[in-house]
Chain A
Amino acid sequence: MTTVSAPEAAKPSRGFRLDLKTAGPLIALILLVILGYSLNPLFLGEGNVTNILTRSAFIGIIAVGATFVITAGGIDLSVGSMAAFIAGVMIIIMNWAVDAMGASLATVLFGIGCSLILGVGAGFINGFLTTKAKIEAFIVTLGTMGIYRSLVTYFADGGTLSLAGDARDIYRPVYYDSFLRIPYPVWVFIFVAIIGWILMNRTAFGRYCMAIGSNEHVARYSAIKVDRVKTWTYILQGLCVSLATIIYVPRLGSASAATGVLWELEAIAAVIIGGTMLKGGFGRVGGTIIGALILTAIGNILNLTEIISNYLNGAVQGVIIVAAVYLQRGSFRAGRKKAAE
């Protein structure tokens, strides 16, 4: 029996094990890229890479928020309809502002500001209901999911809400223009990813999320303000949804009942593929980013090749999700066995 104070001796095995876990999703992504390239070299063309990155920005940004919620032991099913709702309300507000004072940069900024407030507010409501009213997160967000979706349908009167033409012209560049040849949505994605990673791995907040997700009692006895931290994870999620919406609206300039459908599941899938545990207690922002890229790349590859029908996109994603999680659990066990030999 040795005393612990020899962490050097411990390091190799630990580093190795962690590497396996981190590397899993990354290896999957690399394999997918190789596959995509061999099926169609256009896959790695600059236009297509930019396209994949831009597309994955929506789900990716939302999934970063979801990583915190899930790590702290919660779940947010409302993000897809929340995005549609925020998009809808944002368009209504901007159209109203255009009518009142004409289209200008200020109108668009006003709309963006409202979107942020709505996101934070919606997140706070989810958080408040789960922590203070003590309703399971699954139920609360299932409820708000239905509410937002139906509100959007109601605002659009069953059809589509479209942004007024002149405002759209001003707003358009946010989706379509680039800085240093990287589109703005990708910049936002990078920014959210970095902040998210730091928050999760380098701050007390991230540690608290992990502690709450692994055992709420222990967290409470360790002087952690459990309700507050949990509420913040939902607010963060709302904020991420509103950021995603802000870069999504200029793409089509409209919102309808079909906006953001199934985004919640894609976001959760990205989180899980990335190695975060659905039951909480262990979160990886880096993995989530890779997860989002994997999901988008699959759809993209199917688009570029004739082998499998594009209609089977969902099926292929489903298989990949299940396989990814299976492999993670497998390598988890293998890692432990290796240590036990």
Chain B
Amino acid sequence: MSIAEGTTAPSILSANRISKSFGEIPVLFSVDFDIRPGEVHAIIGENGAGKSTLIKILSGIEQPTSGTIVYDGKTVTLPPNGEAEAMGIVLIHQELNLAEHLTVADSIFLGREIKKWGFLDLNEMRRRSAEILDSLHVRVDPDARISTLSVADKQMVEIAKAISRDARVLIMDEPTAVLSVGETETLFEQIRRLTARGVAVIFISHKLDEIMALAQCVTVLRDGQLIATVGTENLTPDSIAQMMVGRELSNLYPPKHEPDVDAPIVLSVRGLVAPGVKDVSFDLRRGEILGFAGLIGSGRTAVAEAIVGLTNKSAGDVSLNGQPTAFTDVAKSVDAGLAYMTKDRKGRGLLLNVGLQPNLTLLTLKKHLKNGFLDGNSEQQALERATRRFDIRARDASVRVGQLSGGNQQKLMLGKTMETEPDIIIMDEPTRGIDVGTKQQIYHIVAALAAEGKSIIVISSEMQEVIGLAHRVLVMRNGRLAGQLEGAEIVEAEIMRYAAGIKQDGDNDNRISA
């Protein structure tokens, strides 16, 4: 539906002069927002700008401090706890919200189970789940437990659940943060199908190209203020970014400084076999940024976890600075100067129910001991340093990490990892859920670390990131290295070809281990 038609249609959901404060801290200031049936309306803004808060208010999860919500022409107070679903407003949260022990089918129909004579009709639910998942091209068994799924599959299950809900307004908070290109494409197809049926879609993403591709309309928030609501046809990714951060954003990626050809090899992996990894060999040089590209589930995380000792390798050798090593747990790899930053910040990376300080120092508590006892001052200083270095923004120092905006959680996790002062850093999806301004900061930090002589492996599903950052890119597919790209070869089309299995380096394996 075009904007011209849209303006004549009445809006289905609108927010008027919405303000919201948590405690004394205001988070939203008199924000207006509205959406018409059949429209995709994107909300963008820096981390902590208040996007998630706004859509929580639009779906009743949070109540506004002041302002009104109009749904279907009537001023309403939306019921809390997701009950607005019954009214047709369905929200997919930024963080996954699935019960780990339920099956996929259970999760999709949670709260509106199909019944026959008062009993659950398991077969019907299974069949319908399979149908929905199929339409999303997701290959998971409706009987699989959620806990066994990858993060991406979990996200797809959330989407399937939302799509099955007969929504009139579908709100998605960074649904693509954990998805790869292919999955994102299918999601977009489904969104277009829904909008054609008149469903209104509110979409939050930090990926500006996605917004250009999908949305008709963009609302920009900065520090809780409404900056503008504009049609996407007049915009370029650059101009959106500029509105978001309030300054010109040049050089998202820092210039690349290739490491010396004779730089020593700091990490060497030969014939690694581990759960999800079938025979992987590669080298990492000092000062090098090595990208790991590939589809989600191609085994990149599995390689990292096997190297640092989170999973047990069944064959292969890992050597650090020429010394053969076998890390049996994370503590050993950290001590050896090798740190891994997980991509699952909520489930593996951070303790959500405690504050920033215990999270930051958890990995390196030994550094904060004085005569065997914890030294609170030294921990406090570490937090102040990390806050400055990584620009972590929290309401105040005592908030629980679960209350931070997603991007700030990510920055805290980066801070936690860097506390170990590693020589080799493996970053798994380092900018997931991070705004462009902060991304730029992180890219420059990564480049600076490499220039200092640290070696960095960046695992990323964001192709642009790998291309913009890495000196060399390894592409994985089905637990194996499918290919290696260097210098000018590092382009999107080549990476895709290897990742999808259209091209393979099989015949010159030695190049990979060069």
Residues of A within 8 A of B (CB): 1-7, 9-11, 13-14, 198, 201-204, 207-208, 210-211, 214-215, 217-225, 281-282, 339-341
B348 within 8 A of A: yes
| Contact status B353-A5, CB under 8 Å | no
| Contact status A221-B330, CB under 8 Å | yes
Given contacts A3-B391, A10-B396, contact A202 B348 (CB under 8 A): no
* B137 vs chain A, min Cβ distance (A): 29
B310 within 8 A of A: yes
| Contact status B391-A223, CB under 8 Å | no
B334 within 8 A of A: yes
Residues of A within 8 A of B247 (CB): none
Enumerate 28 A-B pairs (CB-CB under 8 Å) in ascending A order. A1-B393, A2-B393, A2-B395, A4-B356, A4-B383, A4-B393, A4-B396, A4-B397, A5-B388, A10-B396, A10-B397, A201-B374, A202-B373, A203-B372, A204-B374, A207-B362, A211-B358, A215-B347, A218-B350, A218-B351, A222-B363, A223-B331, A223-B334, A224-B331, A281-B351, A281-B354, A339-B22, A341-B23
- 6 pairs of A and B residues whose beta carbons are closest in the complex: A10-B396, A14-B398, A223-B330, A223-B331, A7-B397, A204-B365
| Contact status A340-B23, CB under 8 Å | yes
* B178 vs chain A, min Cβ distance (A): 17
B141 within 8 A of A: no
Q: How far is the CA of A297 from the CA of B322 in the complex (A)?
A: 66
Q: How far is the CA of A203 from the CA of B392 in the complex (A)?
A: 27
| Contact status B387-A1, CB under 8 Å | no
B279 within 8 A of A: no
Q: How far is the CA of A25 from the CA of B255 in the complex (A)?
A: 60
| Contact status B380-A7, CB under 8 Å | yes
Q: How far is the CA of A203 from the CA of B375 in the complex (A)?
A: 9
B329 within 8 A of A: yes
* Interface hub of A6, A7, A211, A340 (most chain B Cβ within 10 A): A7
* Complex interface residues of chain B between 387 and 442 (CB less than 8 A to chain A): 387-388, 391-398, 416
Residues of B within 8 A of A (CB): 21-23, 25, 48-49, 223-224, 310, 329-331, 334, 340, 342, 347-354, 356, 358, 362-363, 365-366, 369, 372-374, 380, 383-384, 387-388, 391-398, 416
Residues of B within 8 A of A2 (CB): 25, 393, 395
* B54 vs chain A, min Cβ distance (A): 14
Q: How far is the CA of A221 from the CA of B353 in the complex (A)?
A: 17
Q: How far is the CA of A1 from the CA of B437 in the complex (A)?
A: 15
* B149 vs chain A, min Cβ distance (A): 15
* A67 vs chain B, min Cβ distance (A): 17
Q: Tell which of B23, B342, B383, B395 touches A221, judged by Cβ atoms closer than 8 Å.
A: B342
Residues of A within 8 A of B387 (CB): 3-5
| Contact status A1-B330, CB under 8 Å | no
Q: How far is the CA of A228 from the CA of B438 in the complex (A)?
A: 38
| Contact status B223-A203, CB under 8 Å | no
Beyond A211-B358, A282-B353, list 5 extra A-B contacts (CB 8 Å).
A2-B395, A13-B396, A211-B362, A220-B330, A340-B21
| Contact status A221-B369, CB under 8 Å | no
| Contact status A4-B330, CB under 8 Å | no
Q: Tell which of B340, B358, B394, B416 touches A4, judged by Cβ atoms closer than 8 Å.
A: B394
| Contact status A221-B22, CB under 8 Å | no
Residues of A within 8 A of B49 (CB): 1
Given contacts A217-B347, A218-B350, contact A7 B396 (CB under 8 A): yes
Q: How far is the CA of A13 from the CA of B391 in the complex (A)?
A: 23
Residues of A within 8 A of B224 (CB): 1
Residues of B within 8 A of A221 (CB): 310, 330, 340, 342, 348-349
Residues of B within 8 A of A207 (CB): 358, 362, 365, 374
Given contacts A7-B397, A204-B365, A223-B330, contact A214 B356 (CB under 8 A): no
Q: How far is the CA of A5 from the CA of B365 in the complex (A)?
A: 21
* A91 vs chain B, min Cβ distance (A): 37
| Contact status B223-A223, CB under 8 Å | no
Q: Tell which of B25, B353, B356, B384 touches A281, judged by Cβ atoms closer than 8 Å.
A: B353
* Interface hub of B329, B351, B356 (most chain A Cβ within 10 A): B351
| Contact status A225-B373, CB under 8 Å | no
Residues of A within 8 A of B374 (CB): 201-204, 207
* B225 vs chain A, min Cβ distance (A): 10
Closest to A18 in B: B398
| Contact status A223-B363, CB under 8 Å | yes
Residues of B within 8 A of A7 (CB): 380, 384, 396-397
Residues of A within 8 A of B354 (CB): 210, 214, 281
* B438 vs chain A, min Cβ distance (A): 13
Q: How far is the CA of A4 from the CA of B380 in the complex (A)?
A: 12
Residues of B within 8 A of A223 (CB): 329-331, 334, 363
| Contact status B369-A204, CB under 8 Å | yes
* Interface hub of A201, A203, A215 (most chain B Cβ within 10 A): A215
Given contacts A13-B398, A225-B331, contact A215 B393 (CB under 8 A): no
Q: How far is the CA of A335 from the CA of B348 in the complex (A)?
A: 28
Given contacts A202-B373, A204-B369, A340-B22, contact A214 B351 (CB under 8 A): yes
| Contact status B393-A3, CB under 8 Å | yes
* A227 vs chain B, min Cβ distance (A): 10
Q: How far is the CA of A214 from the CA of B395 in the complex (A)?
A: 22
Residues of A within 8 A of B365 (CB): 204, 207-208
* B395 vs chain A, min Cβ distance (A): 8
Residues of A within 8 A of B48 (CB): 1
Q: How far is the CA of A316 from the CA of B350 in the complex (A)?
A: 41
* B393 vs chain A, min Cβ distance (A): 6
* B397 vs chain A, min Cβ distance (A): 4
Q: How far is the CA of A201 from the CA of B376 in the complex (A)?
A: 10
Residues of A within 8 A of B347 (CB): 215, 217-218
Residues of B within 8 A of A225 (CB): 329, 331
Given contacts A1-B224, A4-B392, A210-B354, contact A217 B348 (CB under 8 A): yes
Given contacts A4-B387, A14-B398, A217-B347, contact A222 B362 (CB under 8 A): yes
* B69 vs chain A, min Cβ distance (A): 19
Residues of B within 8 A of A14 (CB): 396-398
Q: How far is the CA of A95 from the CA of B396 in the complex (A)?
A: 63
* B324 vs chain A, min Cβ distance (A): 21
* Interface hub of A1, A203, A215, A224 (most chain B Cβ within 10 A): A1
Residues of B within 8 A of A201 (CB): 374
* B392 vs chain A, min Cβ distance (A): 6
Q: How far is the CA of A6 from the CA of B396 in the complex (A)?
A: 7
* B297 vs chain A, min Cβ distance (A): 19
Given contacts A3-B387, A3-B391, contact A9 B350 (CB under 8 A): no
| Contact status B396-A9, CB under 8 Å | yes
Closest to B334 in A: A223
| Contact status B398-A10, CB under 8 Å | yes
| Contact status B384-A204, CB under 8 Å | no
Q: How far is the CA of A233 from the CA of B330 in the complex (A)?
A: 21
Q: How far is the CA of A202 from the CA of B330 in the complex (A)?
A: 24
Q: How far is the CA of A2 from the CA of B24 in the complex (A)?
A: 12
| Contact status B363-A5, CB under 8 Å | no
Q: How far is the CA of A219 from the CA of B394 in the complex (A)?
A: 23
Residues of A within 8 A of B388 (CB): 5
Q: How far is the CA of A1 from the CA of B224 in the complex (A)?
A: 8
| Contact status A339-B23, CB under 8 Å | yes
* A71 vs chain B, min Cβ distance (A): 12
Q: Tell which of B351, B369, B416 touches A215, judged by Cβ atoms closer than 8 Å.
A: B351
* B434 vs chain A, min Cβ distance (A): 15
* B472 vs chain A, min Cβ distance (A): 27
Q: How far is the CA of A14 from the CA of B388 in the complex (A)?
A: 22
Residues of B within 8 A of A218 (CB): 347-351, 362
| Contact status B358-A198, CB under 8 Å | no
Given contacts A1-B224, A204-B366, A223-B330, contact A214 B353 (CB under 8 A): yes
